[in-house]
Amino acid sequence: MTYLYLGGYLEKRPLGLVAIVLYKSFAALLLMVTSIALLLTLKNYQTLEAFSENYVLEGKSIIIDWLLKKVVNLNPRTLAFSGIGTGIYAIVTAIEAVGLWYEKRWAHVLVLGLVGISIPPEIYELIRGISPLKTLVFLLNLAVFGYLFRNFPKHPN
């Protein structure tokens, strides 16, 4: 058990659960930042497009030029859909983290379901091409699924 000091009293939480809550919180934060970036890109689409055609970028920064070409070539509708979808997923991930923190059965079921359905596509992606990031995400999700499956709450709450 891990003891965390929260507002004048100690709370007991299993270390595995604390790790999953931190992982889910970090994922929610990254998803929200991505959503905001996509929606800001949509708002400033014309400025970004003009900037990408600016002669200053010619050969100066390959990464910035590549990134801008990828974003500018996206349809504004695709950017809006991606930004909103990512924002919704960020909110769901944050709700998962809060529910797990309070050790709610519904949160365990939600995370087990969402992580469980993400594992087959992750395996497919690994078959298509292994990368350190894909492998890390797959292993983290497998560990989360295994931990929550083994420690499923027996009492309804």
Condensed to tens digits (0 to 9), the pLDDT of residues 97-155 reads: 999 999 999 999 999 999 999 999 999 999 999 999 899 989 999 999 999 999 988 76
Are residues 27 and 62 part of one domain?
Answer: yes
- φ/ψ of 68, rounded to 5, equals -65, -40
Are residues 64 and 115 part of one domain?
Answer: no
Whether 128 is covered by a domain: the verdict is yes
Q: Closest Cα partner for 48 from 12, 74, 11?
A: 74
**Boundary (domain end) residue, out of 40, 61, 87:** 87
Whether 15 is covered by a domain: the verdict is no
Are residues 77 and 28 part of one domain?
Answer: yes
Q: Closest Cα partner for 13 from 104, 101, 106?
A: 101
Which helix (H) or strand (E) segment holds residue 13: the answer is strand 9-13
Q: Which domain holds residue 44?
A: 23-87
Sign of the CA dihedral running 103, 105, 106, 107: positive
Q: How many domains does the chain have?
A: 2
Kindly write down the DSSP assignment for every residue of 57-106, as one continuous string: GTTT-HHHHHHHHHHHTS-HHHHHHHHHHHHHHHHHHHHHHHHHHTT-HH
Per residue in 14-48, pLDDT tens? 889 999 999 999 999 999 998 888 888 777 766 65
Whether 10 is covered by a domain: the verdict is no
Q: Output the pTM of the full model.
A: 0.73
Are residues 35 and 79 part of one domain?
Answer: yes
Taking the C-alpha atoms of residue 86 and residue 141, their distance in angstroms, rounded to an integer, is: 18
